[in-house]
Chains A and B, each alone.
Chain A
Amino acid sequence: MRRTVAALLRKDLTAERRTLESIPAMTLFTVTTFVLFHFGLDRDTLEGDLASGVLWVTLLFAAVLGQNRLFVAEHEQGGFDGFLLAPVDRTALFVAKALALFAFLCVVEVVALPAFAILLLGPGLLDPLPGLILTLLLANAGIATVGTLVAGIAIRTRARDLIGPLLTLPLLVPVILAASEATAPLLAEGGAGGPPARWLAILAIYDLTIGLVAYGVFDFLLED
């Protein structure tokens, strides 16, 4: 299982490094969205819950972009068939894809956070950075899990670009809610020390539950 996951993940990361299909688009999208928010809200700087909400909604939509591309190569170039022919645990594909999406999100955030700090954020980014990174990691795990599961469902439907986001957005409401509540005090002027533990706990519970369910049912999406 572990070797299969590692092989699949390496394949995905290599393919992304060579084709640059997802990460540049996602990154560009986040930066453009920050600019849009600047004009949409007509504000030069943001702080507190507004900043936190803008950051999370932007990251969520960027994740949906990445999620839409996640299984396209498998679907169009017969990767699914090849994988099904191999004598390996099918859930490995889910784990590898979720890890790949998680990695994509982390890379995007490495660019998106400084861009956000420069373009929109009023208070400094350095002080709340550890708490912010912790929240980002927990939320990324949830987004990657749901995104991979939904992408697996949506790739075989005719209207996959439509079904994917329609399913993902309601499923991720708790993640966005908890994540933006957790980071709101961090991004406030003279912000508090760490993110509220209650919200991190909710994120962790969500990640765990959805992760287990997705792990359990993903098998059935590949069964033909």
Chain B
Amino acid sequence: MAEKVPVREGTFIEASNGGALLGNKCKSCSQIFFPKAQFCLSCFQEDVEEIILNRRGRLYSYVIAHMPSTHFEPPYAAGYVDLPEGVRVFAPLKMLEGRPFKVGMEMEVVIEKLWQEGDKEVIGYRFRPV
């Protein structure tokens, strides 16, 4: 059984409903951060609480890349998804047959393996068309 490591600690939870991204929110000024901030970067208050972000959002922009990135071979898709909490997330996207990307399209988060690193599976998040 391969060891699983998150792409970044504390950025997501896995659950039977498909999991979700984790952010945090300043109790003082309500600014929301993804990924989590150590303390509020807006008002500098230290009282921030973890929040589970909405699983769905709108595709703000997308790209099909034809050159490799650090971990992905081309062609691969990536984009920004706007979550209702006012958070804009950069993430790889899942290309689905017959579902070309369109700005404004509704997307849903998927927690899954992103790449293999030696004998470790790196787990992270992608978005796919709803």
A and B from one complex: no
